[in-house]
Amino acid sequence: MSSAMRSRRQVRLSRALGLPLTPKAEKYFERRPYPPGEHGRARRRNDSDYSIRLKEKQRLRAQYGIREAQMLKTYKEARKESGLTGEALVELLEMRLDALVLRAGFARTISQARQFVVHRHICVDGQRVDRPSYRVKEGQMIHVHERSQPMDPFQVAAAGAHRDVLPAVPGYLNVDLEALQATLLRRPKREEVPVTCDVQLVVEHYSR
């Protein structure tokens, strides 16, 4: 899929889910904050409880760019933890390597962050990791491989070019952007994680 096609797809998905998933989608979303399609602007149907819960699950999944199987696996893991399942779900998703690459400002979108990981540009504690789903542990350092650092995308990131479109660095991350390094200080807390989601609706969807 070309970058242009991928971008259009993300814009369409953003409008369908009611939240911008990329910086480009945000610009389109500001102009057309209604669902895609011929009747998107006029659509005013009352959604069922099921469709509302389903949409909320899809919104969370889209923000992390993961497949349903990955989402369900993480939900089952979160259910086994003490405390609220919905909060644990978001916290576990946030500890994914691709999510932290995005939060640190090394990438502009979750899709780009995942691509960096898959192409072996990202290391954890000095070792290349090519699995976006890799769960980073407290105290581990994420950094761009030294051979990759001179590449244009990482030089752009190191200059802070993505900071205008990304949320502020959350408190669970310590970032040295110029060095393209970040350390996960502790487990994220749901209220700190910059995703839009009613986690209780997601839990209700899976526990129905």
Measured in whole angstroms, how far is the alpha carbon of residue 188 from the centre of its chain? 14
Residues 6+ apart with CB under 8 A from 128: 120, 122, 145
Q: Domain span at residue 128?
A: 49-207
Helix 68-79, helix 49-64: angle, nearest 10: 100
My answer on whether 110 and 18 are in the same domain is no
Q: Say yes or no: 167 and 140 in one domain.
A: yes
Total tally of structural domains belonging to the chain: 2
Domain match, 34 and 76 both: no
Yes or no: say if 20 and 14 are a contact pair by the CB < 8 Å rule. yes
Q: What mean pLDDT is predicted for residues 31-45?
A: 50
Instruction: State whether 61 and 160 are in the same domain.
Output: yes
pLDDT digits (tens, 9 = 90+) for 145-169: 999 999 999 999 999 999 888 999 9
69 and 98 within one domain: yes
d(CA 86, CA 77): 11
Q: Does 68 share its domain with 28?
A: no
pTM of the model: 0.81
State residue 38's pLDDT score. 47
Q: Are residues 25 and 96 in the same domain?
A: no
Whether 9 and 105 map to the same domain: the answer is no
Q: Are residues 17 and 70 in the same domain?
A: no
63 and 113 in one domain? yes
Q: For position 75, which CATH number holds?
A: 3.10.290.10
Residues 59, 87, single domain; the answer is yes
Q: What is the pLDDT of residues 53-107, one digit of tens each?
A: 999 999 999 999 999 999 999 999 999 999 999 999 999 999 999 999 999 999 9
Can you give the length of the chain in residues?
208
Residues 119 and 166 in one domain: yes
Q: List, in sequence order, every residue forming a beta bridge with 122; answer none if it has no partner.
A: 144
